[in-house]
Each structure stands twice: as structure tokens, then as C-alpha cells.
A = this chain, B = another copy of it.
Amino acid sequence: MVKMSDVAKIANVSTATVSRVLRSPETVKENTRKKVLSVIEELNYQPNILARHFRRNETNTVLVIVPNIMNTVFSEIVGGIEQAASISGYKVLLRNTNRDVRNEYEAIDHLKQRQVDGMILLSERLEKQTILNISQQYPVVLASAYIEGLKVPTVSIDNISSSREATEHLIKLGHKRIAHICGSLFSLISRDRVKGFNQAIYQNEIQMESVLIQEGDFTFDSGYNQMLKFLALDVPPTAVFAANDEMAMGAIKAAKENGLRVPEDLAVVGFDNIKFSSIFEPALTTIAQPKYEMGKKAMELLLEQMKGVVHTKSQYVLDSKLIIRESCGAKMAELV
């Protein structure tokens, strides 16, 4: 392995100069710089990055903690992160937690051991206090979940308002009996979406029964199963708001299998706007999250933090948008 001292010797300069040519070329006279560069070329010298990391105590790497990379919502956020990171010469270390807190703690060790310069947390199993602690010591950005009152840089959408908007959309279409299939309630996102749903219901003085809220786990099957419960009610709902698109699709499948037409007999709204929600039949009305942009923004915030920029603002709420397609019946209504 060619090392810096080899280059220095042949170029007839000191290693300090070689180092400067690489890290702050403007401080080296042009002649010298050219000479050094040509020797580097000639010897095909590659700096030992590990030595640099060690000496500088930084790695140009960020850790991304994801519950499950196989979920398209997360993989799109990661896509945005990766894009922003690589533009700035940063690398992305990916850690799947499979929703196990122990894996999250392990991941935090990477931070403590300086294996990464910062961390983006897409996960939500850690205690509020733990997150606060580490974010006071290391650059950390949360993405996807807004935690009330937590002064840690966060990129998210407003889950409460979006859910309210989705639900109000159903109310405006004339529905009076509206159900909600929420995600696992240990997740803050799910709780927020329930909150928004309830706000819409109460503000519009719609009748509410607790049986009209059922907990799923964000999977297609859980959407299907919870819908079956609704259908078994004496008076089933005429509209369902599901906390994500997958469950919305499951609910629609259950409805169809029971002879209901969507949207004619049952209106459905989902959340996330995953790729397939437009392909699905009926095309899903849903709340679009700017997933890729959330990732990008999160990485940009992290970059600034790592540079030492201190933000007064800590919560970045990106715009979400209700996308009206077929499953809610609005388009059908227009035609009438």
C-alpha cells in the first residue's frame, strides 16, 4: 500500500504538504500542488481513510435506524436520505430494528463509539427521555413521528391535521357513520391519526361509538380482519378511514367479498399514498406523505447539525395532501 510518506518522499515535500494538497489545496502554492498531484496520480495513491477517521475522530457516515426497510414508506424515506447524503459526501449506514428496542439501543452505541457522526431515527420505540439525552450529546434527527414537546429536530407531517382532513372529507361527502382502522397504538403516529379522526368526528357532531375504532397493525390482513368486524355490526359504517393504505386495501377486499361495492356502498380513505394506491382498484383516496422529501430534509438538517449550526426551530412539518381518487366516492358524487 502506497502511503502519504511515499508520495511526500518522491514529490520532495513533507507529508504535511501532501496532506494539505488533499484537504486544503488553496493553501499550497500552485507549483507544489501540481507536483504532488502528479505523484499521487503516478503512484495511484489512495489515502487511508481509516487513519483519517481515527485521527479526525469523524467518519462522514450517518446512521439510519429503520423499523423495517422492506416497508415502502421507509424505503422511500431512506431513498431521500441517501440522495442528500451522497451529494454531501456522506455515507449511510443502515440498521433495521424489526421493531425491537434492543436493536435501537445497540444502534445508539454506534453513535457513542463515534462510528458515525450522526443519526436519523425513523423508529419510535425509544423513550422520550432517551431520545432527548442522546440528542443533547450527538447530532440526531427524528423523521416520521412528531413528538409533542420534544426539543429534538424532527421532520414529519402533521398526522393529526391530515387525519382530520381525511375524515372531514368523508363527512363532507355526507357520511354519518364513519369507522377508523388505526395502526398499532404503541406507535405515536397511530395515536395521532386517531386523534385527528376524533377531532373531525366531534367537531362535526357525528355520532360516535367506540366500536367504530378498531386497532390494526398496518398490515393488509389486519385491515381485512378489522373490516370484517365492522361488517358484523348491526349497523355497519358507510365509510372507513384506515391509518395506512395497506389496511385500506385489506378493508376494501373484505367489503368486496361481502358483496359491498366500493365506493358506492362503502367509502374508504387510506394514508401514505404508497405507489400501489393509484394502481389498486378502486384507486385509493389517501393522504400523500412526501416521503422522499422527508428523508432529504432530515438529512439536510442532520448535516447542518453536524456542522454545528444550532436551530431555534426544531420541528419541521412538511405538507401532506389529500389525494382524491376513486375509493371515497367523491368523483362519483361529482358526476351526479
Residues of A within 8 A of B (CB): 46-51, 53-54, 57, 59, 61, 68-70, 72, 75-76, 78-79, 82-83, 86, 91-96, 103, 109-110, 112-115, 220, 249, 253, 276, 279-281, 292
B69 with A72: CB separation less than 8 A: no
A115 with B82: CB separation less than 8 A: no
- A57-B50 in contact given A70-B72, A83-B96 (Cβ < 8 Å): yes
Residue from B53, B59, B75, B103 within 8 A of A69 (CB atoms): B75
Residues of B with C-beta under 8 A to A61: 93
Residue from B47, B48, B50, B253 within 8 A of A50 (CB atoms): B50
Interchain Cβ contacts under 8 Å between A and B, 5 examples: A69-B78, A83-B96, A86-B96, A86-B103, A94-B94
Residues of B with C-beta under 8 A to A91: 93, 95, 110, 115
CA distance A103 to B92 in the complex (A): 14
- A82-B54 in contact given A49-B114, A70-B72, A75-B75 (Cβ < 8 Å): no
Q: Which residue of B lies closest to A278 (CB)?
A: B220
Q: Which residue of B lies closest to A106 (CB)?
A: B86
CA distance A315 to B224 in the complex (A): 41
A281 with B281: CB separation less than 8 A: yes
- A47-B113 in contact given A72-B72, A94-B94 (Cβ < 8 Å): yes
Residues of B with C-beta under 8 A to A94: 78, 82, 92-94
Residues of B with C-beta under 8 A to A83: 96
A50 with B46: CB separation less than 8 A: no
Residues of B with C-beta under 8 A to A95: 82, 86, 91-92
A49 with B281: CB separation less than 8 A: no
